[in-house]
Amino acid sequence: MKIFRQMPNLQSPAKHAFTTNALPEGSSNGRYRIALKKPLGIVLQQETGRSAIYVESLVEGGSAKKLGMVSEGDQLISTSGVIYTKTQEYTGTTVRGGLQVVQMNVLNESFDAVMAAIGSHPGHIPVELEFERGETQLELDKTE
């Protein structure tokens, strides 16, 4: 399990998003990790016949847009998911317990499985995401 911590110098409100591994200025390594509270505000897509999942667009008002790190075309590398490791019966009601946050590599996973992992988070638990910025986007970032 990856541990994420809040960065105090972040420009975005911490109640929406925080990051642990921002792209360093001038970095050629395009990988970065973020943790976002819902609503994420990211539209993801998986092209037919390809296993990679990409950011298609960002939604105004969503956590990703407020954070300002995620760009269209970034590839999703991993996401967290919430699982429950035990259940108990109380007078006919099943109660889930043993909540754990796990990190899932999304390469070669179905789009539905990735969306289910992201959707498994209760609203109070941020979704931990790792992206890779494509070479084209890195070049665009350098010219802006």
DSSP letters along 81-117, please? EEEEEEEEEETTEEEEEEEEEEEEE-TT--HHHHHHH
Mean of per-residue pLDDT scores for the chain: 78
pLDDT category, 134, cuts 50, 70, 90?
confident
Q: What percent of the chain has pLDDT over 70?
A: 73
pLDDT category, 17, cuts 50, 70, 90?
very low
Q: Is the pLDDT of residue 101 over 90?
A: yes
Residue located via tokens 């990211």 = 42
- DSSP annotation of 124 reads T
Homologous superfamily in CATH for domain 17-136? PDZ domain (2.30.42.10)
Domain map (residue ranges) of the chain: 17-136
pLDDT at position 29 is: 62
Residue located via tokens 């259940």 = 87
Are residues 42 and 64 in contact, defined by beta-carbon separation less than 8 angstroms? yes
pLDDT at position 35 is: 95
pLDDT at position 16 is: 42
Q: What percent of the chain has pLDDT over 90?
A: 51
Distance separating the N- and C-terminal Cα atoms of the chain: 35
Q: Stretch 1-6: mean pLDDT, rounded?
A: 34
- DSSP annotation of 62 reads S
96 against 126, higher pLDDT: 126
From CA 50, how far away is CA 53, in angstroms rounded?
A: 8
Are residues 19 and 33 in contact, defined by beta-carbon separation less than 8 angstroms? yes
Q: How many helices (H) and strands (E) does the chain have?
A: 3, 7
CA triple 91-96-97, angle to 5 deg: 115
What are the phi and psi torsion angles at 121 (to 5°)? -75, 125
- Tell me the whole-structure pTM to 2 decimals: 0.71
Q: Is the pLDDT of residue 7 over 70?
A: no
